[in-house]
Amino acid sequence: MKKQLINYETLLKVTKAMSMSTKPEEVVQLTVDSVKASLEIKGCALFLIDPKKNVLEVAASCGLSSEYLRKGPLSSIRSIGQSLTEGPVAIYDVADDPRIQYPQAAKKEGIASILAVPIYSRGNVIGSMRVYSAEPWEFTLEDVNFVQALAQIAGVLIDMCRLYQGQKEFNAVLMEIHEARAM
């Protein structure tokens, strides 16, 4: 019961803080920090898809070494690609799963299990949130739903932040045009 209470408290804290931010980098960092702290896990990372290269790029992480994060390009198709097309994927043993692109790097990092969930914006998958545990973990439906909820909230807020940034740039251009005409 205590874990469920912590998850609700985390959801409230994160959504409140996220709703006050207009910077996508703050939103994604707050998300991964909160997931890691709430689930008491090794690490969490939020990846966004680079559609031109078909790779996942780290937008924010917590608890993972920079060496692990720079292990090589993360293919959006090969590296737990099902999480982007079919929904959440839980991997109990990263050392013995063909969906892991860099199993040796995961072992060296001390990662035993991974949960990967998609991040959506306006109905399109824009990335993946991944949870990493140091001990083998059979993720419960509650764990999956909690991580999915935060990933969905992050996706909406990333989109809102991008729209806000675009609106600010648009307003700046309009102001320049107005000032140029006033001269």
Which pLDDT belongs to residue 1? 40
Q: Which helix (H) or strand (E) holds 7?
A: helix 2-19
Q: For residue range 8-42, what is the model confidence (pLDDT) as tens digits?
A: 777 777 777 667 766 778 878 888 998 898 888 99
The pTM (predicted TM-score) of the whole model is 0.81
Which residue is it, tokens 């990493």? 132
Q: Provide the residue ranges of all domains of the chain, joining segments of one domain with +.
A: 2-182
Q: Are 37 and 24 in contact (CB under 8 A)?
A: no
Q: What is the dihedral of CA 101, 103, 108, 114, to 10 degrees?
A: 80
Q: Which of 105, 95, 37 has the alpha carbon at shortest distance from 68? A: 105
Q: What does the pLDDT read at residue 161?
A: 62
Structure tokens at 156: 């909406």
- Strands 74-75 and 43-50, bridge-based pairing: unpaired
Closest CA to 131 of 97, 72, 80: 80
Q: What is the pLDDT of residue 162?
A: 63
DSSP 10-29: HHHHHHHHHHT---HHHHHH
What is the reported pLDDT for 85? Answer: 85
Query: Which pLDDT does position 68 carry in this prediction?
Result: 96
Asked if 103 and 23 touch (Cβ cutoff 8 Å), the reply is no
- Spell out, as residue ranges, where the chain has pLDDT lower than 50: 1-2
Q: Are 159 and 122 in contact (CB under 8 A)?
A: yes
Handedness of CA 63, 114, 139, 33 (dihedral sign): positive
The domain 2-182 having CATH identifier 3.30.450.40: the answer here is yes
Q: Is the backbone of residue 136 left (phi > 0), alpha (psi -120 to 50) or beta?
A: beta
pLDDT at position 171 is 57
Decide: helix, strand or coil at residue 125.
strand
